[in-house]
Amino acid sequence: MAPPSSRAERIALIGNPNSGKTTLFNELTGANQHVGNWPGVTVEKKSGSLRPLYGKSEIIDLPGIYSLSPFSLEEIVSRDYLVDEKPDVVINIVDATNLERNLYLTIQLIELNVPLVIALNMMDEVARDGYRIDTDKLSHDLGVPVVPISAAYREGIAELMDAVGHARLPRRHELPNPSLERMIALTESLLNDHLVREHHLGDAIAAGYPLHWTAIKVLESDDLVLRHLTLDDTSINRIEQLKRDFEDEHTLLCTAFADARYQHIQRTIAESYLRADRSDTAKQALSDRIDRVLTHRIWAIPIFLVVMFAVFHLTFTESLLGIPGLPGPGVALQTLVESGIEAFSSAFSTLFEPGSWSESLVINGVVGGVGAVLSFVPKILLLFFFLTLLEDCGYMARAAFIMDRLFKRFGLSGKSFLPMLMGFGCTVPAAMAARTMDNEQDRRLTLMLVPFMSCGARAPIYLVFAGAFFAAYADFIVFGLYLLGVLVAVISGIILRKLLFKGEFALFVIELPRYRLPRWRSVTLTLWDKFKGYLVRAGTIIFAMCVVIWFFSSFGFRPAVEGGGFGMVAIEGSLLAAFGGFIAPIFSPLGFGFWTAAVAVLTGFIAKESVVGTLGVLMGISEDSALGGGLSASVLAAAGFTPLGALSFMVFCLLYIPCMAAFATLKKEFGSWKWALGQAAYSVGVAYLIALLVYQVGGLFIGSPLFGG
């Protein structure tokens, strides 16, 4: 028996943001996904092959949108794909807990006359809220198949794909406004006369567009459709007269269409959306009470800071709640992993001849460098675990709403906060998230600021230095670094807006999703994705960097007294030491003007984790230890670091250009080498200035010398 979706070669998936579209796409495709950009635009395109369980079709995940009106780039991309590419079936995923808003897009898809199936998602939550939806009645009223599903729990997916296999064009429905319908019919007649006269087309197709939908778009003054039709002056004048007559007698056409669609939706919902009990009233009241506290005008930001500090305390503290002998979960997990790496290193070292170059390469180079990075993965994953919980339960959307009010006071767009929030994970997707901003000035300003957010790759640097020099206050230090990144971004935004990005910022509109218990499957998949990413980076970029660092730190030109020539030398005489010593004076005013630190900063441009890997290799060689002497305070001090110099080093690594992948993404998003290089130069300059202030001003308080270090 053929899979149910085998009739449809291409399936398009479309829906509102936060409707569960990504969850459904992941379930349908599994690992068979491809990510790129739509031709000619910087909007992400996701496509994939269906899992064999569901068929052999290709599924295209269209950008999350609220309507098919041509206002944002995402709306244009989605609509153009549906009209021009004509997929075999369109799955419209609808949030069943918010039918009225979600069905507005559905009504427009029906007007577009595409083969449509509605996936009514989150039905488990509808039942918990005390409601029942008559899907048969809803399907009858809308004229398209409606399949109840719960994408998060993989319920109803097989039934959905069976409906996809039998999808057909929706039946035409009339809007509950007779005057509007008469005007649409007159416009259809005018368009049909024009198309038959000018293009010799029949009445079924309007230059590739459905005639009924085309008439609606013309009345809505859709520029993209009007340019495509190339109407003559006579037709344009007659249509404009129809619009004027209607607006003189009734209201603005855009308002009339919106009202008519919502009237149709409300009438449909009233007949199919049934209340089983009144438990939802208490739940909604509880949700409102929570929001009155968490989004309070005065207390919202202090609460947000307390929540975030709790996350950092649990992740980085040496002593949980200040109780001696009770380490934080992050420290306990890191200690366990370090023990495993050291045991592996000790056992593995027996396979090599002591003192040989092969032992040096594998133990000091690979294990010392890669192991130094991997030992911090538990803390990083724990941090992402807490942040994912906050996002899944709905609090992070409130955080964006809260920060919007703060940003506006400084003349910044609240829309910038969402990409900046993503920057705490990785700069690459954060920069890509700026594509959704409508205002080009705001988008470029956001791209300038996103790199100041402390990405997960920088965390190992903080863990090494804060743990070594400030163990009792590691959570405060790391939390302060994250806040410093935000503060520098805000100050930079104020300065850049006054100098380069003048003008009004775009309004910020965000939907506050319902509070939900975190879905553990979603949390687990997110953590696995992060862990897999770290393993890939450790096995590729960081591994390669550690081997390169080992080679240049182990080989050089021997002095004449040792026979001369090129070969293995002490680390102080290596090629790397010579190069590092050449550039080290640049960093002397910052407190880390010695070659090992200078080299680590340079390798951080390849990948920020390489900073720790480089130190692990270099100090592992100097201390004859697989893990770089544990990169403890004594090991780092022997290299030249002081507590104040370590703090300055962390600040510099926080603020200077993130990594090569981030730079490449910024160049692509800016669409200009000039802007990308300008951002890189600006971030390096800011990093140098702030680190200089930290070291020099800090020196005034603890008695260290001005300049030099």
pLDDT value of residue 694: 92
Opening angle at CA 385, ends 382 and 390, nearest 5: 135
d(CA 104, CA 87): 21
pLDDT value of residue 560: 55
CA distances for 412 relative to 84, 234, 245, 422, angstroms: 38, 47, 42, 17
pLDDT value of residue 2: 43
Looking at residue 278, the DSSP 8-state letter turns out to be S
Question: What single-letter amino acid sits at 350?
Answer: T
Q: Selecting from 3.30.210.10, 3.20.20.80, 3.40.50.300, 3.40.309.10, what CATH number does the domain 10-164 have?
A: 3.40.50.300
H-helix or E-strand spanning residue 477: helix 474-499
- 146-148/116-121 β-pairing: parallel
Domain 178-275: CATH class, spelled out: mainly alpha
pLDDT value of residue 394: 79
Asked if residue 121 lies in contact with residue 20, where contact means CB atoms within 8 angstroms, the answer is yes
For the chain, give the number of residues: 709
Q: Is the dihedral of CA 457, 459, 461, 464 positive or negative?
A: negative
Per CATH, 10-164 and 178-275 having the same topology is answered: no
Q: What is the pTM of this model?
A: 0.63
pLDDT value of residue 208: 59
d(CA 439, CA 442): 5
Q: Is the dihedral of CA 204, 208, 214, 215 positive or negative?
A: negative
pLDDT value of residue 109: 92
SS (H, E, C) 664-706: HHHHHHHCCHHHHHHHHHHHHHHHHHHHHHHHHHHHHHHCCCC
pLDDT value of residue 38: 47
Stretches where the chain sits below pLDDT 50 are: 1-6, 37-42, 200-207, 278-280, 621-629, 705
d(CA 625, CA 634): 13
d(CA 216, CA 211): 9
H-helix or E-strand spanning residue 205: strand 205-206
d(CA 160, CA 143): 16
DSSP string, 277-290: -SHHHHHHHHHHHH
Phi, psi values for residue 60, rounded to 5°: -110, 120
Question: What single-letter amino acid sits at 184?
Answer: I
The domain ranges of the chain are 10-164, 178-275
pLDDT value of residue 202: 44
